[in-house]
Structure 1
Amino acid sequence: MNAPAGLWSLVVGDDQVADEVDVRIIEAALEQFTLVGIKRASTDDIARRAGVNRTTLYRRMGSKDAIVRAAVLYEVRRMLTRIEAEIGEITDVAERIAEGCATTVTLLRENALLKHLLAVDRDEILPQVTIDAGAALRAGTFFVADQIRRARTELGLPDPPDVDGLAAILVRLVHSLVLIPDGPPDLETREQLREFARLHILPMITT
């Protein structure tokens, strides 16, 4: 399901479009989900925490399912913003790609909200990060494609024939590494992730 335009602006970072009340509702929802889980969080609780009435909440966000989707997308934006902050100033392309892989997987694996929900609300959150994760994957693909273009420009290389397709492959790889950490390849530490990126991801981006 595609994200509504207003929610998509929250993901890609268009703060001129993002509405203050929508942001307050989504952040309240995230706080409530972290506190009691998705299943036990009511729309009344979210509205109360956000300082709005139920009518405003439903008019702006819709059902609880829509609020959950919006919260997941907003958390994606926050994670992408943090990743960019951690790797954006690295000038060496190979190092930025290696550190980007290590940082992305580590931050997602250690995300407090995701860990909490997978522990206490697995049945509620798994659809949002698997079969209903299309919008989040598109946001990640948009971000990674931009990183690929930047890297190739700095190396004096043209865009690959299908930069979005390559970005989508890398995003789905990260998605798998985060949700199924126990399967191969064995990438438990940041250094293992960096080395994997140097051996496998770097050539995909730079050749």
Structure 2
Amino acid sequence: MTASRTPLSRHDAADLEARILDAALIQFAKVGVKKTTIEDVARQAGVDRVTVYRRVGSRDDLVQAVISREVATLLAVLGAMPERHDSIDDLVADIFVTVVTRWRTHPMVERILTVEPERVIMKLTVDGATTFTMCLAATATILEGAVARGLLADADDLRTRAEIVCRVVHSLILAPHGTAQLGSDDELAAFARRYLVPVVTNARG
């Protein structure tokens, strides 16, 4: 295949980039990042390698783009949650369980954690500023939504509370093994109710 020289409409360009990211996600889930080449992604997407480079970039750019898209998709799901709950405890527990279980069962994450865990650590630490900023902004928005629904008292430090919660979740993702029993949804929910709800509500025991 050869790269098309005809300018694409914004809609067509978005569809093409989505197809490339879908292909990259499939390849990363199959063999991990290290064994995936631009040619593999191009073949999977039905385009040539020049198109992949032009539309997204290098393999590292593909990884970041896929991760950012997956995070954005999850955050959109979380953003609708305040409308489904009548208590802040239930909301926080639902968010925590959803984030951790989605992370644990994501095919790309599972593969990369198995074959090249150091890449996940890099993407969530040294190279993770963009992803963390997205998560922080979305969590702060969720808390503002909880305030609007009367589930949480308004405060000038909501963003700080959101950051603390994000950092706890971030840490659990990077280092999942510890003394806390977090194997089931019920255990995750109980952890959120006991340790994260007080942070969100600023309760002092």
TM-score, with length taken from structure 1: 0.81
Query: What is the total number of aligned residue pairs between the two structures?
Result: 192
Give the structure 2 partner of residue 79 of structure 1.
Answer: 74
Letter in 1 for 2:171: S
Kindly state the Cα deviation for residue 183 of structure 1 after the two structures are TM-superposed. Answer: 1.6
Aligned-CA RMSD value: 2.4
**1: CA distance, partners of 2:90 / 2:28:** 36
**2: CA distance, partners of 1:88 / 1:70:** 29
Structure 1 residues 194, 123: CA separation in 2 closer, same or farther (over 3 Å shift)? closer
Give the structure 2 partner of residue 126 of structure 1.
Answer: 121
Give the structure 2 partner of residue 106 of structure 1.
Answer: 101
Give the structure 2 partner of residue 203 of structure 1.
Answer: 198
Q: 46, 49, 52: which is aligned to 2:47? A: 52
Give the structure 2 partner of residue 171 of structure 1.
Answer: 166
**2: CA distance, partners of 1:36 / 1:189:** 28
Give the structure 1 partner of residue 178 of structure 2.
Answer: 183
Give the structure 2 partner of residue 139 of structure 1.
Answer: 134
Letter in 1 for 2:120: I
Q: Which has the larger radius of gyration?
A: 2
Kindly state the Cα deviation for residue 28 of structure 1 after the two structures are TM-superposed. Answer: 0.8
Structure 1 residues 107, 145: CA separation in 2 closer, same or farther (over 3 Å shift)? same
Q: 71, 86, 93: which is aligned to 2:88? A: 93
- SS class of match (2:69): helix
Structure 1 residues 192, 89: CA separation in 2 closer, same or farther (over 3 Å shift)? same
CA contact (8 A) 1:61 1:67 kept: yes
Give the structure 2 partner of residue 27 of structure 1.
Answer: 22
Letter in 2 for 1:22: E
Task: Give a deviation string over 1:139-172, Cα, whole Å, max 9, x none.
Answer: 1112211111111222275532232222122111
CA contact (8 A) 1:118 1:125 kept: yes
Letter in 2 for 1:129: L
Gaps (5+ residues) in structure 1? 1-15
**1: CA distance, partners of 2:198 / 2:147:** 11
**2: CA distance, partners of 1:40 / 1:134:** 25
CA contact (8 A) 2:93 2:188 kept: yes
Kindly state the Cα deviation for residue 114 of structure 1 after the two structures are TM-superposed. Answer: 0.7
Moved over 3 A (4+): 81-88, 156-159
Structure 1 residues 31, 51: CA separation in 2 closer, same or farther (over 3 Å shift)? same
